Chain A
Amino acid sequence: MKVGVGWPGKGFWTELFPALIMAAILVAIYFILPSKMMAAEILIMAIPTLAFILLLGYTGLLNFGTGSLFAVGAYTAGILLARHNVHILLAITAGVVMSGIISIIMGYFCIKRGGLIFALLTLAFNQLIWFIVWQWKSLTGGPDGIWGIKRGSLDLAIFSVNLKPTFNFYIFVLICFVLLFILVRRLIESPFGKVLMGMRESELRATAIGYNPETYKWIAFVIGGLICGLGGTLFALHQEYVGEHLANWFTSGEFAIMALLGGTFVLHGALIGSGVFIFLADFLNRFPILSKAGAWLLILGAIFIVVVMFFRGGIYGGAEKLYERFRKK
């Protein structure tokens, strides 16, 4: 796998240039997409998918708890914004921190058992959080969710931006996403990231060299949780509503589908996957037959099975193979 090859000493600025290109493409995509709301949603959903890829593709952990951590971020930010009228950046920070705290606890219990039990335990924790969200009506609104989240103006010391217009909010999400993307890239190329990948390949060897896999997995899990939390807070701002379905394990499943569609061995897979997923969902839902009874999910599920069976690298991996075959000729 060519991914992740790069020297840790590489400077921040060499990362920035491709990131700027990515940002420019993303701005252009905003104008191409059929629905303007969709653009921000694609970026936001790509954030937890990024966390899923970091855990599955780079660390080898199948995390089915991403949905609940996403929801924790969304609820924290949503409650703070709707009921306490705090600064947007403070709400986002609080959401991320809250998800971090929850994922520290969750990670402590789940990391102890590897492989399948890990997947099961994260799933169980995910549903536990969903039950809490469902039952704690005074805090979360239970089945009603949280309404009245205000996406007002973002006041910084020097200037203030109104986030209400879709485009302004999109740019805000874009900045968050690109910064996060650079950060995660740096993380993967750092010695820490190399240890994670080493553990993915052979946990025994990593242990023999002297790394403690539990600690590393735990840290990776918490980093994933923080990322999911960020996605959740932005999602709360985007929808201006938070519902309990976010915490359900099906949300985790959706992130898994996005990750696999895009490609789990490369960070760009998150963006491609969430883009294709949301675009396909929107496209399929335009047909009345398919939107009825959620038949679009059936098609997505079938596509997902095919991808998992035959195109393990997802769309990114497939494109890479095609490109290489083309170059050889």
Chain B
Amino acid sequence: MINIDAILAQVFNGIQFGVLIALLATGLSLIFGMLGIINFAHGSLYMLGAYFVWTCAQMLPLPGNFWLGLVLTLPLMALVGLIIERFLLHRMYGQPVVYQILITFGLLLVIQQGVALIYGTVPLPLGMPRYFEGEINLGLLRYPVYRLFTMILGLAIISCLWFFIERSALGAIIRASAEDPETAKTLGINTRTVYTWTFALGSALAGLGGGLHAPMIGGLQHTTGTEILLISFIVVVIGGMGSIRGALLGGIILGVVRGLAGVFWAPASDFVMFAAMGIILMIRPQGLLGRGGTR
């Protein structure tokens, strides 16, 4: 007999996982909408963020250094994204998309193996930050504080991001450069700069996702990002390319379905992700909240 608490806990875990994945998926989705490429190195940026937070938390003997690391990941990963875009992808615009994708695959190898060279291949555990180790009573179930915290923080960030992209003037510039670069250019928008900063934004989000996730991963490894990359690809396909709300919705659906399937039959948790993707692609090829039209 499967008790109701386990199911409820899995629903919560699913939402929490989904929100974290949505952090990556929104970045992927933004980069896709803008540059028209799928970024294989996105998982590596997530992994880099996690390693950065680990380094901060382990190396500095201060109590709040985990949080310091988490805050610092944002500008640092934005910088990494900036460098990647400026020196690699920037030179590739106007060339076949296939090669741009393959470049990001090469980048994945370089980042991943670079981390393996520096940190070794042994999993590095990172404990929960102080005051966040325990569980909180939500009435129906007791839930780990840290997970609840990441869920709320992730939701807040994604909401801000949605507001920024869909409602602010800068967001309008970003959307314009993605949807109609030619017209945007005639209106005096430097689309290339917009591309660079969008890539940096996506990278920063991926790094933050990695940093937030780090204490929940059993041990950090250089291959940490590859599985999450695949899941976020699936989320982007499910949610619809270029849609932030789609990424959030897709992430939560996938997380919950995955968690619930795991309750009933553990090996099924991975299959259902693909099944969900297959079904949605059959019914709605542009994704749940996709704007339609295929590139």
Instruction: State the CA gap A294–B118 with chains docked (Å).
Output: 11
Determine which of A62, A125, A250, A293 lies in contact with B117 in the assembled complex, contact meaning CB atoms within 8 Å: A293
CB-based contact A295/B117 at 8 Å: yes
Cβ of A298 under 8 Å from chain B: yes
Cβ of A98 under 8 Å from chain B: no
- Which of B45-53, B92-100, B141-149 has 4 or more CB atoms under 8 Å from chain A? B92-100
Interface residues of A in 71-125 (CB under 8 A from B): 109, 112-117, 119-121, 123-125
Count of A-B contacts judged by CB separation below 8 Å: 105
A257: which B residues are within 8 A, CB to CB?
Answer: 106
Q: For this complex, into which size category does the number of interface residues on chain B fall?
A: 35 or more
- Which of B59-67, B159-167, B207-215, B230-238 has 4 or more CB atoms under 8 Å from chain A? B230-238
Main secondary structure of the interface of B (DSSP, over half): helix
Instruction: State the CA gap A113–B98 with chains docked (Å).
Output: 15
CB distance from A315 to the nearest CB of B (A): 16
Cβ of A128 under 8 Å from chain B: yes
CB-based contact B109/A300 at 8 Å: yes
CB distance from B246 to the nearest CB of A (A): 15
CB-based contact B113/A298 at 8 Å: yes
CB distance from A164 to the nearest CB of B (A): 35
- Which of B72-80, B129-137, B172-180, B271-279 has 4 or more CB atoms under 8 Å from chain A? B271-279
CB-based contact A117/B237 at 8 Å: yes
Determine which of B97, B226, B267, B277 lies in contact with A116 in the assembled complex, contact meaning CB atoms within 8 Å: B97
Cβ of B120 under 8 Å from chain A: yes
Evaluate whether A123 and B110 lie within 8 angstroms (CB atoms) in the complex, with A115-B97, A115-B295 already known. Answer: no
Determine which of B32, B103, B237 lies in contact with A308 in the assembled complex, contact meaning CB atoms within 8 Å: B103
B6: which A residues are within 8 A, CB to CB?
Answer: none
CB-based contact B37/A123 at 8 Å: no
Instruction: State the CA gap A253–B277 with chains docked (Å).
Output: 22
Cβ of A204 under 8 Å from chain B: no
CB-based contact B294/A117 at 8 Å: yes
Cβ of B156 under 8 Å from chain A: no
Cβ of B5 under 8 Å from chain A: no
Cβ of B101 under 8 Å from chain A: yes
B233: which A residues are within 8 A, CB to CB?
Answer: 120, 123-124
CB-based contact B113/A297 at 8 Å: yes
B226: which A residues are within 8 A, CB to CB?
Answer: 250
A260: which B residues are within 8 A, CB to CB?
Answer: 102
- Looking at A250, A257, A301, A312, the one whose CB has the most chain B CB atoms below 10 A away is A301
Q: Which chain B residue lies CB-closest to A260? A: B102
Instruction: State the CA gap A257–B113 with chains docked (Å).
Output: 16
Instruction: State the CA gap A305–B267 with chains docked (Å).
Output: 36
Determine which of B106, B120, B230 lies in contact with A123 in the assembled complex, contact meaning CB atoms within 8 Å: B230
Instruction: State the CA gap A250–B106 with chains docked (Å).
Output: 11
CB-based contact A113/B294 at 8 Å: yes
Determine which of B98, B106, B113 lies in contact with A295 in the assembled complex, contact meaning CB atoms within 8 Å: B113
Evaluate whether A119 and B109 lie within 8 angstroms (CB atoms) in the complex, with A124-B277, A128-B271 already known. Answer: no
CB-based contact B278/A116 at 8 Å: no
Cβ of B193 under 8 Å from chain A: no
CB distance from B105 to the nearest CB of A (A): 6
Residues of B within 8 A of A (CB): 32, 36-38, 88, 91-92, 97-99, 101-103, 105-110, 112-114, 116-117, 120-121, 222, 226, 230, 233-234, 237, 267, 270-271, 274, 277-278, 281, 285, 294-295
4 closest Cβ contacts across the A-B interface? A301-B109, A298-B113, A305-B106, A304-B106
